[in-house]
Chain A
């Protein structure tokens, strides 16, 4: 007997493909807004393309793009990942976020980087001064 499929109207669901972390479990919630990644951040209406994720590079932590943007806008964030407090670096993936959003993200990350470098210099200077005082 021949069974031929002429047409198939299927129903499926989409999911973010999340990398598993060290413990082998993929986090399902955005740590910042505590909403599942497959849902929207608090300021978006539609999930998915409109409310993309940003994947940490180096650390395995992921966030809604809009959530991490808001966090990095804070001076107190110092450009660190909210989860592991390493300097936050992200994976560049095509079509994840508008070019404007990605540009803003880049500017924020670089701003924090510059701030950190200035602080380091000051610290070095301070310790240099301390050294000078020591030798006096």
Chain B
């Protein structure tokens, strides 16, 4: 009872406030406990220009327990699973307080996009990318934003499998020219955590290792 009353109040407040750039809507008019939140990617980040949808499930103990949130829109971020959209954010776990609201939680998510916490990652692969190659990370995150979070029809933007994983297309083409299938090449490179060869010190040794893996893969 208290949960429903409070959500209704929050929805009303959110409707009246159009400045925050955060919006909430019910998935089903008769159910106040399942909502979808939408907010814009913060400017000056690789998420700029994207609209991010978050699935919200309100537990019966709300507001004494945090709402369960996960990204519906695919996003490339150290604290968000690139596969499931699961979020690692303290206020949605131990640090929850009943004075927080669905709206303020979404705003917290928005600022999480602004300042990732790679030391407490949800997606280890993404976090590693972030720590090792900030520029490569930013390019990939921006690419994901363009592909998954933009109003532009995804079909219009050309989907590049290598860019999706932040892998330098040149290496993929290099191995493709040797006769390896593109998808296998990307898979092997992902597994080995290699995004490009420019920053690698012993380039030829790494190339040999990749070749070895690929030969095993393509037997």
Q: A residues bordering B, Cβ < 8 Å?
A: 31-35, 41-43, 67, 70-71, 73-74, 76-77, 82-83, 85
Is B178 in contact with chain A by the CB < 8 A criterion? no
Q: B residues bordering A, Cβ < 8 Å?
A: 1-2, 5-6, 9-10, 61, 63-65, 94, 96-99, 101
**Among B9, B61, B96, which residue has its beta carbon within 8 angstroms of that of A34?**
B9
**Among B2, B9, B98, which residue has its beta carbon within 8 angstroms of that of A43?**
B2
Contact between chains at A42 and B2 (CB < 8 Å) = yes
The distance from the CB of B67 to the nearest CB of chain A, in whole angstroms, is 14
Q: Known A-B contacts: A76-B65, A83-B97. Give 14 more (CB < 8 A).
A: A31-B98, A32-B98, A33-B63, A34-B101, A41-B2, A42-B6, A43-B1, A67-B98, A70-B64, A71-B98, A77-B64, A82-B97, A82-B99, A83-B99
Q: For the complex, give the distance between the alpha carbons of A42 and B8 in Å.
A: 12
Q: Which residues of B contact A41 (CB under 8 A)?
A: 2
**Among B9, B64, B101, which residue has its beta carbon within 8 angstroms of that of A71?**
B64
Q: For the complex, give the distance between the alpha carbons of A82 and B64 in Å.
A: 10
Contact between chains at B64 and A31 (CB < 8 Å) = no
Contact between chains at B97 and A85 (CB < 8 Å) = yes
Q: A42-B1, A71-B98 are in contact. Are A34 and B10 (CB under 8 A)?
A: yes
Q: Which residues of B contact A74 (CB under 8 A)?
A: 61, 64-65
**Among B63, B94, B101, which residue has its beta carbon within 8 angstroms of that of A76?**
B94
- Chain A residue at smallest Cβ distance from B97: A82
Q: For the complex, give the distance between the alpha carbons of A43 and B6 in Å.
A: 12
Q: Which residues of A contact B2 (CB under 8 A)?
A: 33, 41-43
Q: Which 9 A-B pairs have the closest CB atoms?
A: A42-B2, A31-B99, A82-B97, A32-B98, A82-B99, A82-B98, A74-B64, A42-B5, A71-B98
Of B1, B2, B99, the most chain A CB neighbours within 10 A belong to B99
Q: For the complex, give the distance between the alpha carbons of A33 and B101 in Å.
A: 10
Contact between chains at B63 and A32 (CB < 8 Å) = yes
Q: Which residues of A contact B64 (CB under 8 A)?
A: 70-71, 73-74, 77
The distance from the CB of B11 to the nearest CB of chain A, in whole angstroms, is 12
Q: For the complex, give the distance between the alpha carbons of A42 and B99 in Å.
A: 15
Pairs A–B under 8 Å by Cβ, sample size 10:
A33-B2, A42-B1, A42-B2, A42-B5, A74-B64, A76-B65, A76-B94, A76-B96, A82-B97, A82-B98
Q: Which residues of A contact B94 (CB under 8 A)?
A: 76
The distance from the CB of A14 to the nearest CB of chain B, in whole angstroms, is 23
The distance from the CB of A49 to the nearest CB of chain B, in whole angstroms, is 20
Contact between chains at A32 and B1 (CB < 8 Å) = no
Q: Which residues of A contact B65 (CB under 8 A)?
A: 74, 76
The distance from the CB of B24 to the nearest CB of chain A, in whole angstroms, is 15
Q: For the complex, give the distance between the alpha carbons of A85 and B96 in Å.
A: 11
Of A33, A34, A35, the most chain B CB neighbours within 10 A belong to A34
